[in-house]
Amino acid sequence: MKHVFIVNPTSGKGDYRRVEEWVNNFFKNRDEEYEIIRTDYPGHATEIAGKYGVDTILYSVGGDGTAHEVLNGMNLEDTVLAIVPVGTGNDFWRMYHIKEPLETILERTMNGTEKQIDIGYSAGRYFLNCLNVGVDAEVNRRVNSSRSKLIPRTFIYMIYAVIELIRKKTFVLEYSFNGEVHSYKTLLASFMNGKWYGGGFKSAPNASFDDGLLDITIVEDVPLRRIPKLLPKYYKGTHLDEDVVNIYRTDKITVKAPHKVAVGLDGEVLELDTFTVEVLKGKLRIMAP
């Protein structure tokens, strides 16, 4: 088995250097092939991942954005993904509920077990964690333009979330799934494979990445006076009983907007007016720590 570490040096606070040192020491006396490759520009991880095939584990060393790039370049049939969380959000990694030193995480990952999990798919792109539309996607756009390493990503996300919620840019979206059609004046909508996004917003507290379903949360337009109460609940995952929150589960859904709107896939922002979101059950081979 070949081990390829795809390292994003702009992710997080520089912990990638600890990863590189650990990896070099780990393989020093082992008869196994490995590479450490740093990315140089957005999309580079996708290009790197696409060069490898059978009997290769691709280690995404970065945050959710890096993992998203690797996922969209790798050969899903032949290669295995592993996550080394050194980003600022690491929302997908939260699904493992592991809070240990980085070196312990590396050791557990190297000695982990290969499993098959679900991934999402929309507009020709895969996503590990989430697809969102509305306020969240606009926030993604703003956060992506912020390169500050001094301010935690969760805090940056929260600031822009408040700004976008005050702006309250809503639109009527039509949702078609399970033989039904629903229309909502939408403030935000998330289509989740994992539970968290945006550096800790627990949009889908009941989601699982091996159940073959997307957990969908649609938040309708609300008066500004309700936002200070609703936002903390949305962050903590205690929002499901709110009257403006609609919860659904399905394996495939089509969304229609009156015009092109921002759509975020693991933080990557596209402009779409009609799109289908589906879950690909067990499509991804991943090293589980």
pLDDT at position 92 over 70: yes
Compute the average pLDDT of residues 194-200. Answer: 90
Domain holding 215, by residue range, is 127-280
Residues 132 and 270 in one domain: yes
117 pLDDT higher than 70: yes
Inside any domain, residue 285: no
Based on the domain organization, do 274 and 156 belong to the same domain? yes
Q: pLDDT category, 248, cuts 50, 70, 90?
A: very high
Domain assignment of residue 22, yes or no: yes
Q: Give dist(CA 88, CA 229) in Å, integer.
A: 26
Would the pTM of this model clear 0.85, i.e. be above it?
Answer: yes
Per-residue pLDDT averaged across 7-17, rounded? 90
Chain segment 24-52, per-residue pLDDT in tens: 999 998 999 999 999 999 999 999 999 99
Place of tokens 């499993």: 115
Q: Cβ–Cβ contacts within 10 Å for residue 265, how many?
A: 26
Angle at which helix 135-145 crosses helix 153-167, to 10 degrees, equals 130
Vertex 101 angle, CA 67 and 117, to 5°: 35
Boundary of a domain, candidates 111, 140, 174? 111
Based on the fold, state whether residues 251 and 150 are members of the same structural domain.
yes
Among 259, 261, 280, 282, residue whose Cα is nearest residue 122: 280
Asked if residue 89 and residue 164 are part of one domain, the reply reads: no
Please check whether residues 97 and 131 belong to one and the same domain: no
**Does residue 287 form part of some domain?**
no
- Is residue 116 a part of any domain in this protein? no
Q: What is the pLDDT of residue 112?
A: 94
- Provide the β-strand partners of residue 272: 261
CA distance 79 to 91: 22
- Number of structural domains the chain divides into: 2
Q: How high is the pLDDT of residue 153?
A: 60
Residue 108 is predicted with a pLDDT of: 96
Q: Do 66 and 195 sit in the same domain of this protein?
A: no
Specify the pLDDT at position 100. Answer: 93
Same domain, 272 and 193: yes
Q: Is the pLDDT of residue 137 over 60?
A: yes
> Which of 111, 144, 165 is the last residue in one of the domains?
111
Mean pLDDT of 4-31: 93
Residue 142: pLDDT above 70?
Answer: no
pLDDT class of 148 with cuts at 50, 70, 90: low
Q: Is the pLDDT of residue 150 over 60?
A: no
The per-residue pLDDT for 146 is 63
pLDDT at 19 over 70: yes
Q: Which residue has the higher pLDDT, 202 or 138?
A: 202
Q: What whole-number distance in Å separates Cα of residue 35 and Cα of residue 32?
A: 10
From 61, 69, 189, 85, select the one nearest 128 (Cα to Cα): 69
Q: How far is CA 257 from CA 51, 60, 262, 266, in A?
A: 37, 34, 10, 20
Q: Give the pLDDT confidence of 207-236 residue by residue, as tens digits.
A: 999 999 999 999 999 998 998 899 899 999
- Mean pLDDT computed over every residue of the chain: 92
The CATH number given to whatever domain includes residue 234 is 2.60.200.40
